[in-house]
Amino acid sequence: MDVCGVSNFNVFPCVNDPYLTQYLFVAVFVLVAVLFPLVPLALVRVLAPRKPSPTKNATYECGLVSKGDSWIQFRAGYYLYALVYVIFAVETIFLYPWAVAFGGLSFGAFVAMMVFVLLLVEGLVYAWAKGALDWK
Amino acid sequence: MDAIYKLIQHYAPKIPDLLALALAVLLPIAIVMGVFLTVFALLTWVERKALGRIQNRRGPNRVGPVGLFQPVADGLKLLTKEDIVPAAADKVVHFLAPVLTVVPAFMVLAVVPVAKGFVPVDLNIGVLFALAVSTGSVLALFMAGWASRNKFSLLGAMRSVAQVVSYEVPMVMAAVVILMAAGTLSSVGIVEAQRGLAGWFVFKPWGLVAFVIFQLCAMAEVARTPFDLPEAESEIVAGYHTEYSGFKFALFQMGEYVAAITMGGITVTMFLGGYLGPGSDLPKIGWLVSAGWFFAKLGIIVVINIWARGTWPRVRVDQLLGFAWKLLLPLALVNIVAMAIWHFASNKLVGWGASAVVLAVAIVALVKINTGQTFEKRSYRFIS
């Protein structure tokens, strides 16, 4: 049967691009994965008892009343790790295509990539020497 | 999924096209989710049994034969529990966080080749997709910690972000050598590249090191016990899910366990030859044998996870972060060089030996650098 006037073997009949077919499938998968936890949560609405009280809905703090707000500024230590992470996450974008093509590359291409990696290792060594990687 | 569509058209040509289409799309999703949810339910039982044995007790043994229906009982119980939302919390984000934790865990399933010829979708960037999507869970954990408006929750969320971000880097770097050897990012392509006698990547020196790094990082990524600082109950109550009860708590547990299983599936695919094994290419029953191999290997990874949980105490925050940045990351980078030595060596045996030596030297040196600073010569004072 022909839905879109094109005969093809695609699952999504109106899409001829194989990439698009795959990512449409991924989109459906996301939808199912999101709906999956929502169904039992809807069931909980029906099944579970609901008896809220001020004490029960208070912030948990081992029996004491919580002091001050918890939405506060947090220590910068986490921020340093995130910065170093960003450097290496960007490196990944360059490293992965190179790694996939590695089988057909020359020795020179390998050296070139190692120089690039070393530049980033220099950053890691700097952070290490400065003590940014030490949890204090 | 194309195959299923063709099968439906072949055997039942009367079915309207739209229905066949829906079946072809939803059937693989239903199969993988059903299978992995069963594995998840079994895993909770196996884990509690195994931990019980390790701690010299019996574990669950009341519900059903040898406590086998315990996961069902747990699920039903949590369904009927009151869902308490703290008055101070950000209601919307508090609700969204548990939903979002399970999504990345399931999304990874889309690219795991479970049996020969069965992968929900063979993306050409499969491994990158899996690594990228699995990191998404950290967003949900932080949402949970922030929305709870509880200091314990926020501390747990902070820790989980620092931890996942730190372990993501060596994990990604360890995967690079596999891509260099396989020459593709497709998960099926990586499995097919491991054909042959001792062809699994774990049997090569660089592959073994990458496997150990990847496995440790996978355990840290899903916050399994030696690395479960985000929910360290002796320090910060239950971390990011302190303020969660009922089925939302169950969803957090499910997200963690399913993520552990699916990351195990990626590990099996990348290092242990996926569905390959004796008999996986047989004409009629090959798919069944290969599925058996896949789940047997997944079982090994799961047992390693449980065993580690029962054996090791929790690490400290400084140890945890130092381990990722100062040991695993440099080692993963040296591993890339070792892989290149193996690749460019004229003789395979020479390459094998040379890369093994480089890695051994690197491991010894890194351990020395990391531990050498803390030991000082003791000075004794004697009272005579």
Distance CA B297, CA B300 (A): 5
Give me the phi and psi of B60, to 5 degrees please: -60, 130
CB contact under 8 A, B158 and A25: no
Question: What radius of gyration, in Å, describes the C-alpha atoms of chain A?
Answer: 27
**More confident position, B187 or B6:** B187
The distance of B251 to chain A (nearest Cα, Å) reads 7
CB neighbours of residue B347 within 10 Å: 9
Write out the DSSP string of A36-79: HHHHHHHHHHHHS-----TTTTSPPSTTSPPPS-S-----THHH
Q: Which two tokens stand for residue B8?
A: 């439906």
Please report which confidence band the pLDDT of residue A56 belongs to, taking 50, 70 and 90 as the band edges.
Answer: confident
Percent of residues, chain B, with pLDDT higher than 90: 2
At which of A28, A49, A68 does a domain end? A68
Please report which confidence band the pLDDT of residue A55 belongs to, taking 50, 70 and 90 as the band edges.
Answer: confident
**Contact by Cβ (8 Å): B357, B373:** no
pLDDT of residue B240: 78
Residues A43, A96: one domain?
Answer: no
Dihedral of CA B225/B256/B265/B267: which sign?
A: negative
The stretch B221-250 carries a mean pLDDT of 76
pLDDT of residue B233: 67
Domain holding A92, by residue range, is: 73-136
For B115, the 3-state DSSP assignment is: strand
The distance of B153 to chain A (nearest Cα, Å) reads 9
**Contact by Cβ (8 Å): B84, A56:** yes
Residues A21, A3: one domain?
Answer: yes
Distance CA B336, CA B172 (A): 12
pLDDT of residue B8: 67
Given a cut of 70, whether residue B32 has pLDDT beyond it is yes
SS3 content of chain B, % helix, strand, coil (to 5): 70, 0, 25
Contacts of B16 (CB under 8 A, 6+ apart): A1
The stretch B376-381 carries a mean pLDDT of 69
pLDDT of residue B260: 87
Given a cut of 80, whether residue A30 has pLDDT beyond it is yes
**Residue-wise pLDDT tens digits, B49-103:** 888 888 888 888 888 788 888 888 888 888 888 887 787 778 888 888 888 888 8
Q: Which of B315, B227, B300, B239 is nearest to B264 (CA)?
A: B300
Residues A90, A134: one domain?
Answer: yes
Asked if B98 is an interface residue toward chain A (Cβ–Cβ < 8 A), one would say yes
The distance of A14 to chain B (nearest Cα, Å) reads 11
Contacts of B104 (CB under 8 A, 6+ apart): B133, B134, B135, B136, B137, B140, B255, B259
The distance of A4 to chain B (nearest Cα, Å) reads 11
Residues A136, A78: one domain?
Answer: yes
Residues A90, A45: one domain?
Answer: no
Distance CA B220, CA B185 (A): 23
pLDDT of residue B316: 79
User: Which residues of B fall within a CB distance of 8 Å from A59?
Assistant: 86-88, 148-150, 243
Say what angle helices B205-221 and B286-311 make with each other, to 10 degrees: 70
Distance CA B358, CA B205 (A): 10
Residues A4, A45: one domain?
Answer: yes
At which of A34, A68, A102 does a domain end? A68
CB contact under 8 A, A47 and B79: yes
pLDDT of residue B373: 56
Residues A82, A126: one domain?
Answer: yes
User: Which residues of B fall within a CB distance of 8 Å from A22?
Assistant: 121-123
Amino acid at B169: V
The distance of A135 to chain B (nearest Cα, Å) reads 5
The stretch B30-47 carries a mean pLDDT of 86
Of A13, A29, A37, which has the smallest distance from its Cβ to B110's Cβ? A29
Please report which confidence band the pLDDT of residue A1 belongs to, taking 50, 70 and 90 as the band edges.
Answer: very low
The predicted model scores a pTM of 0.85
The stretch A88-111 carries a mean pLDDT of 85
Given a cut of 80, whether residue B21 has pLDDT beyond it is no
**Residue-wise pLDDT tens digits, B1-14:** 566 666 666 666 66
pLDDT of residue B5: 66
The stretch B127-149 carries a mean pLDDT of 85
Residues A59, A8: one domain?
Answer: yes
**More confident position, B345 or B214:** B214
Given a cut of 60, whether residue A12 has pLDDT beyond it is no
Provide the domain count of chain A.
Answer: 2
Give me the phi and psi of B88, to 5 degrees please: -85, -10
Residues A31, A55: one domain?
Answer: yes
Percent of residues, chain B, with pLDDT higher than 70: 92
Site from A66, A90, A96, A115 to mutate, B interface, most B CB atoms within 10 angstroms: A96
Please report which confidence band the pLDDT of residue A5 belongs to, taking 50, 70 and 90 as the band edges.
Answer: very low
Residues A136, A99: one domain?
Answer: yes
The stretch B39-52 carries a mean pLDDT of 87
pLDDT of residue A3: 45
Q: Is B105 left (phi over 0), alpha (psi -120 to 50) or beta?
A: alpha
Q: Which of B212, B25, B258, B36 is nearest to B120 (CA)?
A: B25
Secondary structure of B205-227 in HEC code, one letter for each residue: HHHHHHHHHHHHHHHHHCCCHHH
Locate the chain A residue with the closest alpha carbon to B29: A29
Work out how many CB contacts closer than 8 A connect A with B: 202
Locate the chain B residue with the closest alpha carbon to A94: B176
Q: Which two tokens stand for residue B211?
A: 């496997």
Residues A61, A97: one domain?
Answer: no
CB neighbours of residue A86 within 10 Å: 11
pLDDT of residue A9: 46
At which of A47, A68, A89 does a domain end? A68
Residues A77, A131: one domain?
Answer: yes
CB contact under 8 A, B150 and A60: yes
Asked if A103 is an interface residue toward chain B (Cβ–Cβ < 8 A), one would say yes
Asked if A46 is an interface residue toward chain B (Cβ–Cβ < 8 A), one would say no
Give me the phi and psi of B52, to 5 degrees please: -60, -45
Q: Which two tokens stand for residue B144?
A: 């949970």
pLDDT of residue B214: 92
